[in-house]
Amino acid sequence: MNHRRTLTGTLVAAALLAAGCTGSGGSSKGADAKAADDPASVSGSIKVLTHRTDIVQDGTMKKYADEFNKTYPKVKVEFEALTDYEAEVKIRMNTENYGDVLMIPAVIKKNDYPKFFASLGSQKELSEKYRFTDYTAVDGKIYGLTTNGGTPGFLYNKKVWAEAGVTDWPTTPAEFLTALKAVKSRTDAVPYYTNFAAQWPLTSWTYVNGSVSCDTDATTRWTDSDPWAEGADLRVGDTLLYDIVHEGLIEKDPTTTNWEASKPRLAKGEIATAWLGTWAVIQFRQAAEKAGTDPDDIGFMPFPAQVDGKFCAVLSPDYQQAVNINSKHKEAARAWIDWFTEKSGYAADNLLPSTLKNAPLPEALKPYEEAGVKLIEVDDSKGGVVKEIDNASEVGLYGPAYRQDLVDLARGAKDGDLDGFLADLGKRWTEAQKTVGS
């Protein structure tokens, strides 16, 4: 369910990419949601739409609101948690009634942000303080601030890997495969768990982009090159996934995987490894506590590739919080976004990187710090063009379908070979580039 986006995939903000949103709710005129000088003067009732059904139901979000009210006593905050967030909010945005604060749905085209959301200020100013501002910048103005950052990686059971005789992180895909084979031969654990049936975890593989090449222009390159060309990040990532499956290093039947059950199973050492993201670390550690195993057994490692002897990991934003341009209480809505981003402790509570540039890395990423993993941010200034190419190509870069096909191909449930499969993706992508203006 939505537990996966503590996040985000993340990191999975682009989980649904429809052809576009042409709602009538947005105004074509710009509007600003300015920060208040005096918190005590800010008033009004605001509704905050969220994908985090879990922490609304368990009262965690109310605790945040209670803390918020110590600074902003005249603002009443109401939460509405939506299970199928993207689909439901997309429909609502055909009206003016889509909350006062909301997470920007992936379906909204970047250039349309000023029609639906109030500006939070200039990119020049906000980028000095916050990460990821280019993801919501239109004509020099920012239309959303992310709740937290995240980075993809392999969650793994350190105890199982040690039992298999592997204590150092693999530095190449070949070494990674060798490690999984050691897990298979020396332990009783499933070496790698696909979470195939849940579908959405497979989209995490898109976020190897940038990690393999350590290239901050990795996303921009998608606008004028083949993402599956020899040596390209996605080809390296998809080839590793194919090889893991093809070598029989996964569960017996991918169609019967269970996302919720995978957490305690990895915690107990029945599963050794899964490619997810920082957002998942706290969930798997909590599963370890419930299962009576050591939460410290849950490790997190970068993709097995190095540039100049160093691993790279890409920091990306989670959902971006925005102010509805039609809100009658924009000042109160802006107050919530600023407070939640800077003061709530939400990122730290979930072991996630903060949006604030000067904040320390979370405990979950301390091993990265110690190992000298280079953390980079990929330029997303052409992210909107990439989405358009993806839509035109029907590849579904941020959806699960093509990787389900890849897994089926690797396990013999679908005809074809890897080279032909990736060549077809590349052809569709490069053909679509010709139809989209960059």
pLDDT confidence of residue 333: 98
Are 392 and 385 in contact, with CB atoms under 8 Å apart? no
Whether 8 has a pLDDT exceeding 80, the answer reads: no
Taking 80 as the threshold, does the pLDDT of residue 2 lie above it? no
- Give percent of the chain with pLDDT exceeding 90: 84
Residue 223 clears pLDDT 80, i.e. is over it: yes
CA distance 332 to 338: 10
pTM for the whole structure = 0.84
The answer to whether residue 9 scores a pLDDT higher than 60 is no
pLDDT tens-place string over residues 276-328: 999 999 999 999 999 999 999 999 999 999 999 999 999 999 999 999 999 99
The band of 30, judged by pLDDT with boundaries at 50, 70 and 90, is: low
| Spatial separation of the C-alpha atoms in residues 365 and 345, rounded to whole Å | 16
- Judged on CB neighbours under 10 Å (0-12, 13-18, 19+), 262 is buried
Domains of the chain: 2-148+318-358 (3.40.190.10), 150-317+360-438 (3.40.190.10)
* Rounded-to-integer distance, Cα 63 and Cα 97, Å: 25
Is 149 within 8 Å of 8 (Cβ atoms)? no
Quick: pLDDT tens for 204-218.
999 999 999 999 999
Question: Is the pLDDT score of 28 beyond 50?
Answer: no
Q: Does residue 3 have a pLDDT over 60? A: no
* pLDDT value, residue 21: 39
